[in-house]
Amino acid sequence: MDTIAEKSSNTLAGGGQVAGDDIPKDGTGVVKLDPWLSPFQDSLKRRYAKTHDWIKRINETEGGLDKFSKGADSFGLHVGKDNSITYREWAPGAVKASLIGDFNNWNQETHPMQKNEFGVFSVTILPNANGQAAIPHNSKIKVSLELPGGMWVDRIPAWIKYVTQDLSISPAYEGRFWNPAPADRYVFKHPRPKKPESLRVYEAHVGISSPELRVATYKEFTKTMLPRIRDLGYNVIQLMAVMEHAYYASFGYQVNNFFAASSRYGSPEDLKELVDTAHGMGITMLLDVVHSHASKNVLDGLNEFDGTDHQYFHEGVKGRHELWDSRLFNYGHHEVMRFLLSNLRFWMDEYCFDGFRFDGVTSMLYLHHGIGTGFSGGYHEYFGAGVDEEAVVYMMLANELLHELYPDVITVAEDVSGMPALCLPLALGGVGFDYRLAMAIPDMWIKILKEQKDEEWDIGNICWTLTNRRHAEKTIAYCESHDQALVGDKSLMMHLCDAELYTNMSTLTPLTAVIDRGMALHKMIRLLTHSLGGEGYLNFEGNEFGHPEWLDFPREGNQNSFWYARRQFNLTEDPLLRYQFLNNFDRSMNTTEAKYGWLHSDQAFISLKHEGDKVIVFERAGLVFVFNFHPSNSFTDYRIGIEVPGTYRIILNTDSKDHGGFNRLDEATRFFTEPLEWNNRKNCTHVYIPSRTAFVLAHESRIGAGGATLRGFQCY
């Protein structure tokens, strides 16, 4: 398989480019972009060489990465054209194996399996006399393994595509043979959307996507949530908790069946319909993939599958995550590599996802997993003995595979450490992700709200945190993470308003100072993060309108209650509640970006950071962004710098009535520049900036194009 380096030049975030002919063929191309990496060339060369060693080995022994990553086509259960069923399972620690289930009355003697020299067991089951498959669709199934000591254990097949749970019987899942009749199989109707230039990501969890006290379904999400997300202006959905996890309250991060779509939301066909319907709306679908660790479950997971401690995972302490209480993959093992790469291919091919957000990348990158480690930004922290090079190489190989086979694929890394070259292609010595999550930004906002009064906000530090990123590598910014919505923490709106969210969000009651401040800052924080913080933007569902309650999944500690395991979208539909205004602003912000494209433009030029006035002014994508975070002072005839001369008008305004503001700005006002250099810009104009207000100006010549309305609603 050729690498990206051998096929094309590499365009980088911010417009930089390194031509293919100029790239060193040893993984040190990144040094040309960042000379500070020069002392670490040996590390860059080593991980690059190891990745290519893997590619060479797989080419020689498996017929190439393409074939190697199609493990799901051979392992697990497969139905032939004649309705025969072949089952293959890698279990090198087992002595014998048999396929058991409802179809043979769970008899170990009926369908014994043969073991080859690589530890792979297999069996073929001929069709019934009537020509039908001998194992009925959706019937229960397991593999029974004899261990060296003579003990027999039953396991759910590692490559199983559907499992179900009956809590009235047992918390353990049961394997199901998923083989619906042709008429019942979902057929995809829509092509994948092209990769968006700007990523506006809506992070969603199917189960909580309803105001009702229960687990919502794929079909409900398709019917109610997809239109809502589209109308809010998001073009990407990052779907959480799809890979089957035994414990609902784990938020999907304790995966036990990597090839199974969670049955608690519905059938595999229902998930396919969800993805396909989203594609028909032009929405890109990302799967939250968990390859950083696995559930320690034995009865229904991978742990001790063949009776050993080290089949899929490192043995002993190295194979256990002490904080997550989970198992850690052995990324250096040939069959583990096949399993994980095939898992990515499976979700792309079977369910037509468009890419992945890789969970827990920091844990994968380092042998210490980030536990008890504060990353200062010193380059020595990213290279050397603390790095898990086997995991790094796995991610390099995974990204290379995905980008080679799916040109429009999107991969996002959840990394708090700031690993250099994480979001550069393998050709340059990078790990290959397209984006990283800007995890320092939500930490900053929550720290500010917890520790500082409004008048103490450090405007310079806010701007520094929002722009402190590796500019050759793309970043997705977000104001608050889903973790902050969980019990034990608070979302931004809960920090801003606390108990008044329950008493003073009605339009029938006077607007209190707390709600006024909370709504104003909620909008401003979002717009500032959206426009200044990265090359993409992410929002966790419900946070767009300031959801008034935290998340707490049903568990023993809350009497298995669903009261907090839901999102109350109905609050935005009540005309007597103020949540509608925050929802309106979120829509306006996204649709304005969709028209002007600041997320895929060069980084902003900040012309003003005034600590006393609490004013920030910057330009991006030819737009002028103006923020006044002062709690009480409004400014008239405030001079701001603008690079391009002309006449400007307001296209987005946090203070409009539709956004729950006071309508202090006249959006019909035309702002004329004068050729006076101001704040390092060639021109200037004068504006009125009300307290706790932000607005965006566009050149008048651009506003008419496309018929956008002044308030930033849907652009036609």
Catalytic amino acids? Answer: 359, 414
d(CA 361, CA 357): 10
Q: In this structure, are residues 268 and 276 in contact, taking their beta carbons and an 8 Å threshold?
A: no
Type of residue at 56 = K
Q: Token pair for residue 239?
A: 């779907």
Residue type, 551: L
Question: What is the rounded CA–CA span in Å between residue 65 and residue 559?
Answer: 48
Question: CB within 8 A of 629, min separation 6: which ones?
Answer: 454, 457, 459, 521, 524, 614, 615, 616, 692
What whole-number distance in Å separates Cα of residue 601 and Cα of residue 621? 6
Alpha helices in 559-623, H assignment, sequence order: 579-596
293 SS3 class: coil
Residue 135's identity, in one-letter code, is I
Local structure of residue 503 (DSSP, 8 states): H
Residue 233: exposed, middle, or buried by beta-carbon count in 10 A (0-12, 13-18, 19+)? buried
3-state secondary structure of 459: helix
Show the DSSP H helices in 211-370 as ranges: 218-220, 226-231, 268-280, 334-350, 361-365
Output the six-digit token pair for 344.
Answer: 């990515």
Name the residue with tokens 């050993």: 308
Would you give the DSSP letter of residue 279?
Answer: H
Of residues 91, 78, 83, the one with CA closest to residue 121: 91
Q: Could you report how far apart the first and last alpha carbons of the chain are, in Å?
A: 44
The pair phi, psi for residue 605, each rounded to 5°, is: -105, 115
Residue spans of alpha helices (H) in 20-122: 29-33, 41-62, 65-68
Distance CA 441, CA 447 (A): 10
Residue 407 phi/psi, 5° resolution?
A: -55, -30
Tokens of 1: 């398989």
Judge contact between 156 and 300, C-beta under 8 A. yes
Q: How far apart are CA 13 and CA 11, in angstroms?
A: 7
Nearest to 365 by CA among 439, 291, 301, 427: 291
How far is Cα 352 from Cα 279, in angstroms, rounded to an integer?
A: 9
Please give the backbone phi and psi of residue 570, each rounded to the nearest 5 degrees, phi first. -60, -25
For tokens 């096929």, name the residue.
Answer: 7
DSSP 469: S
Alpha-carbon gap, residue 287 to 243, rounded angstroms: 9
Closest CA to 258 of 284, 308, 293: 293
Beta strands 326-327; 152-155: pairing state: unpaired
Distance of alpha carbon 14 from alpha carbon 254, whole angstroms: 37
Q: For the residues of 328-364, what is the DSSP string, one character each?
A: -B-TTSHHHHHHHHHHHHHHHHHS---EEEETTHHHH
SS3 77: strand
Read off the tokens for 162.
Answer: 């559907």
Selection from 254, 274, 255, 258 nearest residue 266 by Cα? 274
